[in-house]
Amino acid sequence: MQLETPVMPFVRQLSRVGLRPDDRLVQRIVEHGAAARTALLELATQTEALHSEYPADLGPLHALRLLGEMPDTSIIAPLLAVLPVPVYGEEDVPAQLYVKEILQIIGRVGEPAVPVLWAYADDETHSAAARTVAINTLTYVATYAPTVREAVLAEARRRLSLDLTVPLTTGVVALLAELGDSTSYQAVMAAYRAGRIDTDQAPAAAARQLLLGGGQTELTCVNHTFAERYAHHGPHPPTPTATT
């Protein structure tokens, strides 16, 4: 049972504030440091609430975004554990935003996340899908912390040469492609020809385009601050219905 801490009443307000928490509430949460991170992680991993009634449905998203302002390796495994999060159509905006941003938030941990994510990918107690997601997350880490980009790419190239399962090899190829690693082009295409890639998850044409075209531009969203996430991604107020 989670013990009540001074920050928890403020974190619970995130499920009542609506489209965006105000700056005062954000500051009161963040100033509690590690205790705030623990409380935010508890709310952020209550993903069933994403499908509840407004405004409670936005609570986990607000908490997730705030975790991006106080990154730490301790958030990585708990956040990966909630995936996959179901999205029930275009109207399911809180879940859509959550799924779009969760790997970005982990990516903001930066360099310390690299060994943790590779270790997670190597841990056979996790599902193949979860291990693949851990590999995919490294694309955001390498974008947020460009000093680790070459080391991440080198390790991905090494793993591509290994006899991994198809899901893991597919994850490695997706990482190389999204980071636009043209150096890996021949090795990646050889992996496709050998049937080592799940082409439903990573079509060869898409990988080819990314490898030769500079990678996935949307990765830079990892650099968005808490405020920028609301400005760029929403949620936005509903559009008024025109009357006649």
Residue 121 and residue 87 share a domain: no
> Domain containing 30: what range?
1-91
pLDDT at 76: 98
pLDDT band (50, 70, 90) for residue 5: confident
Q: What is the pLDDT of residues 104-143, one digit of tens each?
A: 999 999 999 999 999 999 999 999 999 999 999 999 999 9
Judge whether 99 lies within some domain: no
Q: Are residues 7 and 114 located together in one domain of the fold?
A: no
Percent of the chain with pLDDT over 90: 94
- For residues 68 and 130, state if they share a domain: no
pTM metric for this prediction: 0.94
Please tell me the distance from the alpha carbon of residue 111 to that of residue 89, in angstroms, as a whole number.
35
Place of tokens 């385009």: 209
Q: Is residue 164 part of a domain?
A: yes
Clarify whether residues 190 and 143 are in a common domain.
yes
Cα distances from 90 to residues 18, 97, 232, in angstroms, run 19, 11, 18
Q: What is the mean pLDDT of the chain?
A: 95
- Do 85 and 121 belong together in one domain? no
Q: How many domains does the chain have?
A: 2
HEC profile of 193-244: HCCCCCCCCCCHHHHHHHHHHCCCHHHHHHHCCHHHHHHHHCCCCCCCCCCC
pLDDT tens-digit map of 160-176: 999 999 999 999 999 99
pLDDT digits (tens, 9 = 90+) for 171-221: 999 999 999 999 999 999 999 999 999 999 999 999 999 999 999 999 999
The answer to whether residue 174 sits within a structural domain is yes
How does 183-202 read in b/e, with b if 16+ C-beta sit within 10 Å?
A: ebeeebbebbeeebbbeeeb
Q: Same domain, yes or no, for 6 and 48? A: yes
